[in-house]
């Protein structure tokens, strides 16, 4: 069997088949950040999940076009801009830059396109006009433009494809102008919002008067521009399934741009929430963390990324500091393993172990079963470590093992980026300690070991000589 994903649209695990007739190119869209503040670790769980999907598709030799939007205008942003009294782009650029710094800290691959909403206003206006022309949208008295769910359904479309909506128990017929609305209601939603005094200087001209786009129309217009009216994968957190993604489907398919009964999106993938110590993350509970909060506490991006890759994407991830410490211990185990391999190997250009990679791939093919993939890796490390302990690992086999890890880490992205250079001062101390040991001056050797530790290094005595490691 090939790669399989749980498709929220069909509510079942499906074989992944790209729209591309050649089966090579994959269009992938992920809802990006709303840049009004620093992103929190719950946000980044979704982005690490999207990065895993991207990396694994490329591991499988697909040619991925990865698009992630930047929402740089919405209700929250306008409120903050007015509060601080600065220009829109000056405000949003601050948090967009911070987001991509954090994105890099987590070793996420930069999307091929990161369109900003404010740079695609014309595309949004054009899409809204198509909906007006088809009679699915209408203009209100104040100049705002709304999407009519009733007209959409009357044209034979279904509203409520990603979630089971009980229309009898919900409140239909209301008109919603805000970017987000209550889960217990469905309503006509704003495609274009007429300018109000609260908007200040944030507005654009349109055929319907001054105003700005609604949140939902942004993603449809930007995905159309960069991926076309139909593409393969749309990702996001499970909280976006309704109303945001549901409204995306309605306006995107309601515009009638797809051909041959092709859907707007073929596979919808949604990641589950992140909890903190078993509770919903909340500032009022004191368990709200940005990535920068964790870095200040001494944790690294790769440790945080590792923890985020320990639970299946459709299962809630319980973030704990014990979990972060366990991630650190697991990465230390991997680093020690690689250090041993590099001491033994003599070759660089070798092919990885196909049998191990086959097991790794079989795990991830099954709807990205990351737990099974880690089980393959740590069972393999245990077996190779036994060979090292028994002096059974040849230099050639060590090289193959290192190449195998490098190949798997192309998907995981948790390995060290470069081999750290050991400062000359540390090397000199280690050499002096070794000479003291050879002369049986163990008091001096212990003093030098302590000095190394104070400088952030430990020295391990192995059968192949001393080995330096950063603490």
* Domain extent listing, the chain: 22-275, 333-418, 424-470
Q: Is residue 30 within 8 Å of 50, Cβ to Cβ?
A: yes
Q: How many CB atoms lie within 10 A of CB 48?
A: 24
**Length of the chain, in residues:** 471
d(CA 118, CA 77): 12
Q: How far apart are CA 381 and CA 136, in angstroms?
A: 58
Distance between CA atoms of residues 79 and 114, nearest Å: 24
Regions of the chain where pLDDT drops below 70:
167-174, 180-185, 417-421, 462-465, 470-471
CB-CB neighbours of 141 under 10 Å = 6
* Contact partners, residue 389, CB within 8 Å, separation at least 6: none
**Helix locations, 195-290, DSSP H:** 215-227, 246-254
Report DSSP state, residue 119.
Answer: G
- pTM for the structure as a whole: 0.88
> What superfamily does domain 22-275 belong to in CATH?
HUPs (3.40.50.620)
The predicted pLDDT at position 418 comes to 44
Q: What is the pLDDT of residue 419?
A: 46
Rounded Cα–Cα distance for residues 303 and 457 (Å): 19
Beta pairing partners, 145: 139, 192
Q: Are 88 and 50 in contact (CB under 8 A)?
A: no
Q: Are 244 and 31 in contact (CB under 8 A)?
A: yes
b (16+ CB within 10 A) / e for 163-196: eebeeeebeeeeebbebebeeeebbbbbbbbbbe
pLDDT in tens, 221-277: 999 999 999 999 999 999 999 999 999 999 999 999 998 889 999 999 999 999 999
Tell me which residue of 104, 102, 108 sits closest to 296, measured CA to CA.
102
Question: Is CATH 3.40.50.2300 the classification given to domain 333-418?
Answer: no
Task: Number of helices (H) and strands (E) in the chain: give both, helices first.
Answer: 15, 16
Q: Residue 183 has what pLDDT?
A: 54
């Amino acid at each position: 069997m090939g790669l399989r994903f749980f498709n929220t649209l069909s509510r079942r695990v499906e074989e992944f088949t790209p729209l591309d007739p050649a089966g090579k190119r994959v269009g992938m869209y992920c809802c990006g950040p709303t840049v009004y503040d620093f992103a929190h670790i719950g946000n980044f769980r979704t982005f690490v999940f999207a990065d895993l999907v991207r990396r694994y598709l490329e591991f499988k030799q697909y040619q991925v076009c990865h698009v992630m939007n930047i929402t740089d205008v919405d209700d929250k942003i306008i409120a903050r801009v007015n509060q601080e009294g600065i220009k829109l782009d000056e405000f949003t650029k601050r948090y967009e830059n911070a987001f991509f710094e954090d994105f890099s800290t987590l070793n996420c691959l930069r999307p091929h396109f990161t369109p900003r909403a404010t740079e695609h206003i014309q595309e949004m206006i054009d899409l809204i006009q198509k909906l007006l022309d088809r009679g699915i949208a209408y203009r209100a008295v104040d100049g705002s433009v709304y999407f009519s769910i009733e007209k959409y359904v009357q044209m034979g479309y279904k509203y409520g494809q990603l979630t089971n909506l009980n229309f009898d128990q919900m409140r239909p017929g209301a008109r919603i102008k805000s970017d987000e609305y209550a889960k217990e209601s469905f309503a006509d939603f704003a495609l274009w919002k007429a300018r109000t005094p609260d908007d200040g200087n944030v507005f654009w001209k349109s055929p319907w008067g001054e105003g700005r786009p609604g949140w939902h129309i942004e993603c449809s217009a930007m995905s159309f521009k960069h991926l076309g009216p139909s593409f393969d994968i749309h990702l996001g957190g499970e909280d976006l399934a309704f109303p945001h993604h549901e409204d995306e489907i309605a306006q995107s398919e309601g515009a009638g741009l797809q051909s041959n009964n092709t859907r707007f999106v073929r596979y919808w993938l949604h990641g589950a929430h992140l909890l903190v110590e078993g509770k919903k993350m909340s500032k009022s509970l004191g368990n709200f963390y940005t990535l920068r909060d964790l870095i200040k506490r001494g944790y690294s991006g790769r440790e945080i990324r590792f923890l985020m890759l320990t639970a299946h994407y459709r299962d809630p991830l319980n973030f704990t500091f014990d979990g972060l410490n366990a991630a650190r211990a697991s990465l230390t185990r991997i680093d020690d393993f690689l250090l041993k391999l590099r001491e033994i190997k003599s070759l660089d250009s070798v092919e990885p172990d196909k049998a191990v990679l086959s097991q790794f791939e079989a795990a991830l093919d099954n709807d990205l079963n990351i737990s099974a993939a880690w089980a393959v890796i740590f069972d393999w490390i245990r077996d190779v470590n036994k060979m090292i302990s028994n002096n059974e690992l040849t230099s050639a086999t060590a090289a193959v093992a290192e190449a195998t890890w490098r190949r798997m880490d192309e998907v995981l992205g948790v390995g060290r980026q470069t081999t750290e250079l050991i400062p000359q001062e540390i090397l000199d101390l280690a050499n002096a300690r070794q000479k003291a040991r050879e002369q049986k001056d163990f008091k001096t050797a212990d003093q030098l070991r302590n000095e190394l530790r104070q400088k952030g290094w430990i020295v391990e005595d192995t059968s192949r000589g001393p080995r330096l490691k950063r603490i």
